Amino acid sequence: MRRAAASRPGWDAVWVNANLATMVAGGDAYGAIRDGAIAVKDGQIAWVGPRKSLPRQKARYERDAGGRWITPGLVDCHTHLVFAGERAQEFEMRLKGATYEQIARSGGGINSTVTATRKASEEALFTAAARRLKSLMAEGVTTIEIKSGYGLDLANELKMLRVARRLGEEFPVTVKTTFLGAHALPAEFAGRQGAYVDLVVDKMLPAVARTGLADAVDAFAEKIAFTPQETTRIFAKAKLLGLPVKLHADQLSDQGGAALSAEFGALSADHLEYTSEAGIKAMATSGTVAVLLPGAFYFLRETKLPPLALFRQHGVPIALASDGNPGSAPTVSLLLMLNMACTLFRMTPEEALAGVTRNGAQALGVAAQCGTLEEGKRADLVVWDIGHPAELSYWLGHNPARTVVRGGRIVRQSRKS
């Protein structure tokens, strides 16, 4: 109603002479429409199809895309973007032979970022995260998930979540926040893991739910982190509070994390290098998205490949994300992840692009709003200076984004056209 009343006649914007990678499943590769047009009205995609069928209407802004490709805005569905400091010295230690697990067990790893993040002011965290967010947005990211998990006490977890929310308010990007209180055992709880899980379940989760600062709940189920039983307690409480769940699952060993996620109808299970076929079948049944994180695989020099053939065989949707964090994936490039997913995991460029569009949106529970170029969805789109969508996976460290549009507004224009 409101939309109709506010509307002026005609399109707000239209791009013609564009090749559209709509990423709608089931049709041509990339859901491609060649020589297409896309029209935007009131922040939404109002029309998409072959140019010759575009209904004749006035447009306040009209662009000839010159045969360039337009994709949906990219979705980065797993990041730890808010943190203080860096862990370059741990990188050096690993190059001298220490493992990620050894560093974590000796008090470094996630806990060293916790120390830095607790000390940092909210403003300092915002400034550092904003810089990283801008790099991702410059590559066409219009929707991003941001986790807490470097506070590990109520005040600092809420501080991180507030920073994440504020990023979504101050930048033209949709931010989905995730509470990751069960990321690691904080140093002050050494030897008292059960007591920390009690704190997460009895105090932190209810407080987080009350504030409305988190859209989902995550945990790290791993030998160096939390057991499947502890994860179950956390998930059960999250469900009780009406918050959807997701899991850092089977990253370093098979903990049955995929099946556990599926049991709770998780939005996604993430990492999954060590997941079994039984876990994958359970994910297929529950509609849980597999989020693969090639940056962490690469940076930790993991050798166990995620079981891609089984995800394909059982029809589990595969998303890709940056995992941007100071320990296992110090990256601010989602396009680089597409390349790594293809070279390291042997995903196809089309699967990789679906992973950061349609399936990334599903992993965040926002598939009705974004992830494909379809009428009625939010007008999040990217015009790329490329001749074929496979180029998005092909270049290493090159950003061909020309125009980034979010909610119908141009948020980045790299060159005048």
Determine, following the binding rule CB under 6 A, whether residue 255 of this chain makes contact with ligand NIG: no
255 or 325, CB closer to ligand NIG?
Answer: 325
Q: Binding residue for ligand NIG (CB under 6 A) from 71, 79, 111, 113?
A: 113
Determine, following the binding rule CB under 5 A, whether residue 222 of this chain makes contact with Fe ion: no
Determine, following the binding rule CB under 6 A, whether residue 110 of this chain makes contact with ligand NIG: yes
Q: Identify which of 383, 406, 405 has the alpha carbon closest to the alpha carbon of residue 16.
A: 383
Q: How many other CB atoms sit within 10 Å of the CB of residue 85?
A: 15
Task: Name the token pair of 224.
Answer: 């160096």
Q: Are 21 and 71 in contact (CB under 8 A)?
A: yes
Stretch of residues binding ligand NIG (CB under 6 A), selected from 118-126, 206-214, 320-328, 382-390:
320-328
Q: What span, in angstroms and rounded, lies between the C-alpha atoms of 114 and 287?
A: 33
Q: How many other CB atoms sit within 10 Å of the CB of residue 291?
A: 30
| Residue located via tokens 């996604």 | 268
Q: Are 228 and 249 in contact (CB under 8 A)?
A: no
Q: Are 338 and 392 in contact (CB under 8 A)?
A: yes
Reported as half-sphere exposure (CB side, CA atoms, 13 A), residue 305 has a value of 13
- Nearest approach, Cβ of residue 220 and Fe ion (Å): 8
Sign of CA dihedral 394, 357, 268, 241: positive
Reported as half-sphere exposure (CB side, CA atoms, 13 A), residue 54 has a value of 26
Stretch of residues binding ligand NIG (CB under 6 A), selected from 59-67, 192-200, 325-333, 401-409:
325-333
Task: Name the token pair of 1.
Answer: 């109603």
Q: Binding residue for ligand NIG (CB under 6 A) from 143, 251, 255, 393?
A: 251
Stretch of residues binding Fe ion (CB under 5 A), selected from 110-118, 273-281, 321-329, 357-365:
321-329
Stretch of residues binding ligand NIG (CB under 6 A), selected from 17-25, 257-265, 321-329, 373-381:
321-329
Q: Are 40 and 12 in contact (CB under 8 A)?
A: yes
187 or 240, CB closer to ligand NIG?
Answer: 187
Q: How many other CB atoms sit within 10 Å of the CB of residue 180?
A: 27
- Nearest approach, Cβ of residue 296 and ligand NIG (Å): 4
- Nearest approach, Cβ of residue 187 and Fe ion (Å): 20
Determine, following the binding rule CB under 5 A, whether residue 302 of this chain makes contact with Fe ion: no
Q: What span, in angstroms and rounded, lies between the C-alpha atoms of 393 and 383?
A: 15
Determine, following the binding rule CB under 6 A, whether residue 296 of this chain makes contact with ligand NIG: yes
Determine, following the binding rule CB under 5 A, whether residue 323 of this chain makes contact with Fe ion: yes
Q: Identify which of 264, 265, 295, 260 has the alpha carbon closest to the alpha carbon of residue 275.
A: 260
Determine, following the binding rule CB under 6 A, whether residue 328 of this chain makes contact with ligand NIG: yes
Q: Binding residue for ligand NIG (CB under 6 A) from 72, 109, 279, 408?
A: 109
Q: What span, in angstroms and rounded, lies between the C-alpha atoms of 83 and 378?
A: 30
323 or 380, CB closer to Fe ion?
Answer: 323
296 or 373, CB closer to ligand NIG?
Answer: 296
Partner from ligand NIG, Fe ion, none binding residue 378, C-beta < 5-8 Å depending on class? none
- Nearest approach, Cβ of residue 415 and ligand NIG (Å): 35
117 or 286, CB closer to ligand NIG?
Answer: 117
Q: What span, in angstroms and rounded, lies between the C-alpha atoms of 324 and 139?
A: 14
Q: What span, in angstroms and rounded, lies between the C-alpha atoms of 237 and 245?
A: 10
Stretch of residues binding ligand NIG (CB under 6 A), selected from 152-160, 162-170, 319-327, 399-407:
319-327
- Nearest approach, Cβ of residue 133 and ligand NIG (Å): 18
Q: What span, in angstroms and rounded, lies between the C-alpha atoms of 126 and 350?
A: 34
Determine, following the binding rule CB under 6 A, whether residue 231 of this chain makes contact with ligand NIG: no
Determine, following the binding rule CB under 6 A, whether residue 208 of this chain makes contact with ligand NIG: no
Q: What span, in angstroms and rounded, lies between the C-alpha atoms of 119 and 110?
A: 15
- Nearest approach, Cβ of residue 249 and ligand NIG (Å): 10
Closest CB to Fe ion: residue number: 323
Stretch of residues binding ligand NIG (CB under 6 A), selected from 6-14, 108-116, 132-140, 233-241:
108-116
Q: Which residues bind Fe ion (CB under 5 A)?
A: 323
Q: Which residues bind ligand NIG (CB under 6 A)?
A: 80, 109-110, 113, 220, 248, 251, 296, 323, 325-328
